[in-house]
Chain A
Amino acid sequence: MSALPLIDEEPPLLVVEGLTVAYGARVGCRDVGFELWPGEVLGIVGESGSGKTSLLNALSARIEPAAGRIRYRLRDGHLADLFGLSEAARRQLLRTDWGIVHQNPRDGLRLTVSAGANVGERLMAIGARHYGEIRGAALDWLGKVEIDRDRIDDRPASFSGGMQQRLQIARNLVTNPRLVFMDEPTGGLDVSVQARLLDLIRGLVADLGLSAIIVTHDLAVARLLAHRLMVMRGGEVVESGLTDQVLDDPQHPYTQLLVSSILQV
């Protein structure tokens, strides 16, 4: 009998240890540790103020942690200490290897330039110069996120919230990132628009084999997208594990409270 690839030899993409984020005396998150593997989607759930966004901001190198270590496996296989890299190297990661999908598309898009330019800009930032190729890639990605190709020259200011969010996803994925951070990607959208966006994210993550860290307060979103969950409260991880196990057999009082507070339709 051939051995199945149960314990694969693939090393983790991201290794986080003892991560603490502080704003002066106030703690954003405390002593968080986990590993993320290629192709894996990790959901971070909890209510407002639980430290989810602080954690996400530190993981994506947008704020420097007060303590702890984040190591990321670069494309050459080297596991690099994120805050041991130069500022320029971290910026380069953000432009190429990583994507960040903000809750508010205005934070992730430039509303005054065309949809095509929003997508093409990320390619130009990594050196693409050929106009036809950049426009071709932009058209291709608009199609993948279900935006009519004839909207390529329109400014995203004229788009609906759902379209803006899909454009933000296209802008992030055009550089073939390996890791995508999403902060409440469906927050503030109508439920019908949410469903379409979730389906799109689910498909893209699976097809591209992306790793993703998704912050959400919506447990249904977490169930649909995440392989594993971390539940946060008061800046600390109170429970973590397989998504359906955490949601269907929650152990911690706070997780039980969250799960039991969902209204049934």
Chain B
Amino acid sequence: MEPVLEIRGLAKSFTLHNQGGVTLPVLGAVDLTVHAGECVALHGRSGTGKSTLLRTLHGNYRVGAGQVWVRHGAVRIDLAQASPRQIIELRRSTIGYVSQFLRVIPRVAALDIVAEPMRARGVSPAVARDRAAALLTRLNVPERLWHLAPATFSGGEQQRINIARGFAVEYPILLLDEPTASLDGDNRASVIGLIDEVLTRGTAIVGIFHDGEVRERVANRLYDMTEAKAA
């Protein structure tokens, strides 16, 4: 079976032009192949480039060198060559991303934040809101919060809204950055349940899980970030 994600020789560095032009090499050469239904945990201490790798896979950071082949329906797209419009389309239908922190939009209610990725794929407002409500219920977000903008919510509540949003659409590839970082036991179990379900369905996951218990529970294999280390 053809992989859903194939990373070849991915390198990434940052050049800080206004700080003496210093260059920070972060990723030297990442080679990683991920198939449908697999969950790969990025493993390494902080500062080894785990989040940088996830952000690059989401198109948030530019590919420095190498190739990132993403299977998108019947075609394969190299993120290094993709146009902005192609990346937007990939994010709409193929690559989901749960960031560590929710980016709050003023005035937009929690329920609509969760429903938005479904609306972008043409799901009717009523169906999208129903599914959003079901996800928020499952993640124990109290109903009284659904119609409020999450700016004032706690870190754990914001994170669960972010997770609900990421799982609202059945993406073939899901990138998870510390999805259980600020969650208690019950909520952690709900997230593990969601991850299990999408893996069974065939979603491929690349994630950062600092919580060893969660990592052992969901990951099929580890990718050791020292392999990716820039020289």
Contacts and interface: CB of A to CB of B under 8 A. Distances in A.
A1 B84 CA distance: 24
Interface of B: 14-18, 55, 59-62, 72-75, 77, 84-90, 93-94, 105-108
A224 B75 contact: no
B89 A199 contact: no
A256 B17 contact: yes
A2 B18 contact: no
A228 B73 contact: no
A4 interface: yes
Given A195-B107, A256-B17, 6 more contacts: A6-B90, A7-B86, A242-B88, A244-B60, A249-B14, A249-B61
18 contacts: A1-B74, A2-B74, A3-B73, A3-B75, A4-B93, A5-B89, A6-B89, A195-B106, A224-B105, A244-B60, A245-B87, A248-B55, A249-B60, A249-B61, A249-B62, A251-B15, A252-B17, A256-B18
A257 interface: yes
A227 interface: yes
B74 A227 contact: no
Q: Is the interface of A mostly helix, strand, loop or mixed?
A: mixed
B22 to A, nearest CB: 12
B73 A4 contact: yes
B60 A228 contact: no
Interface string A93-118: 00000000000000000000000000
Nearest to A199: B107
A242 B84 contact: yes
A37 interface: yes
B75 A242 contact: no
B73 A2 contact: yes
A198 interface: yes
A37 B85 CA distance: 9
Contact of B16 (A1, A228, A252, A256): A256
B62 A245 contact: yes
Contacts of A242: 59, 84, 87-88
Nearest to A3: B74
A210 to B, nearest CB: 15
A239 B214 CA distance: 41
Contacts of B62: 241, 245, 249, 251
Contacts of A253: 17-18
Contacts of A257: 17-18
A192 to B, nearest CB: 9
A76 B63 CA distance: 40
Given A6-B86, A245-B59, A256-B16, A199 B72 contact: no
Contact of A248 (B60, B94, B106): B60
Contacts of B72: 4, 6
A41 to B, nearest CB: 11
A92 interface: no
